[in-house]
Structure 1
Amino acid sequence: MSGDRLNKARGGASSREETTEIGHPRGDLALILVGMPLLGLLLGLALPRLARWASGSPVLPWRDGIEFIGGLDAPWQTALVMAAGLVAGLLLAFTALAESMKVRLSDARVTVEQEGRTRTFERADVSAVFLDGKHLVLLGADSGELARGENGARAAALAGAFRAHGYPWRDADPHASLFRRWIPGTPDLPAEVHALLAARKAALKRDAGRDARDLVETVRGLGFVVRDEGKEQHWRPLAGA
């Protein structure tokens, strides 16, 4: 399917159900695992020269650091800078893959691996699956989010895999029209939810993604769904809430 990594396997004696693993297309994997380290290596090679060029500017922030890098012109120094760029590229590549949401499907259940956490949801508990921008989203029976994250596979491959296993794939969020922009103090929300959304706004400003996601789950426990549109938080009640 469009070159995406869709692997099928049979379970053991206790489970003969067919599973499909959905991940990055092979081309994207090659770009991440080879392209990022190579880019880091080339940047390390060019960085001293760029620093020497930039040091001639009369208005230069961090002048001391840039002049220091520009002075690294010995072969062994250039090799060290290139090695540092290569290591940085490898770290970025593995970080990108680690943060990607891995999905394993069968007709009976879907397993999501994300940020070192593995969760399994029964097919009957999944009410909708769709893409929200680059994020794959699974909704539960109460219309709350079961999982959200970037998977890496193309939209057509995701749709085909979920539909093949009988999941309710949607072209868009079926509850999108119910979302409203969060306005602090609006009487439509309990004070406790306002406090949680204010805390989440602060977490987003300091790039504390895990804290922000934990707060979303807490808000869900109070009967509401949260999602971001640009830099604004939007909310809606759970179905039946």
Structure 2
Amino acid sequence: MTDRVYPSTKPNGTSHPIPPHRQFSCRRCFCLTCFWSILILIAILLLAAIAAAALYVLYRPHRPLFSVTSLRISTFNLTTTPSDDSTHLTTKINITLSAKNPNKKIIFLYDPTSITVLSNSVHLSNGSFANFTNSPDNISIIHTSMGLNSQVLDADSLNSLKSDLKRKNGLPMEIVMDTMVGVKMEKLKMKKIGIRVKCDGIHGLVPKPKTLTPALANTSNAKCKVDLRIKIFKWTF
């Protein structure tokens, strides 16, 4: 009796090539997706540029202007502790600032502001002042009192202060302020952004011992610069 051989039903492992028209269709869809994505992105950027240009033409925005009206040092004491030979700094400083809004149709909305007074990177005082609104073409006057209470100085800071205190024109001082400010243009209110204000060119005089009258600093050459503080993820620029 003759045995019959039947063909196997298992796959023989050979692959079937994708028809050329299907490959072409996939590539075409991918290219079209990229094309329309780039086109939409360009359109969005173009519209944003047009809107920004229109706002600039309508409102002519300018940055706020800050200036130092006066700075008085009422307390400035360096004391040394014999037990550990450490030096402590105690200060009290009164500052008057002016914030000018040079715009005619823009309102600045300030959050509470932190303020630091330094002398060659040595902290002399820390403080803050409350939030305020700066109306168009208006000047806001800010009064603040701040100080340090027995802050320990390292050797480098102490030597720097002692050297600067010997200067004839006074102790070189710098004011640094950080805050968030919002911009309101009629009914349009923009998201708040960070700004940093640096004022230098200040020379402070230390009051004489047992004198109740605060020493007035020389602020005639003081200049303030306003910089934007842009935060991207964890980095601030």
Using the size of structure 2 for normalisation, the TM-score is: 0.23
Larger radius of gyration: 2
Q: What TM-score does the superposition give when structure 1 sets the normalisation length?
A: 0.23
Pick the structure with more helix per residue: 1
Higher strand share: 2
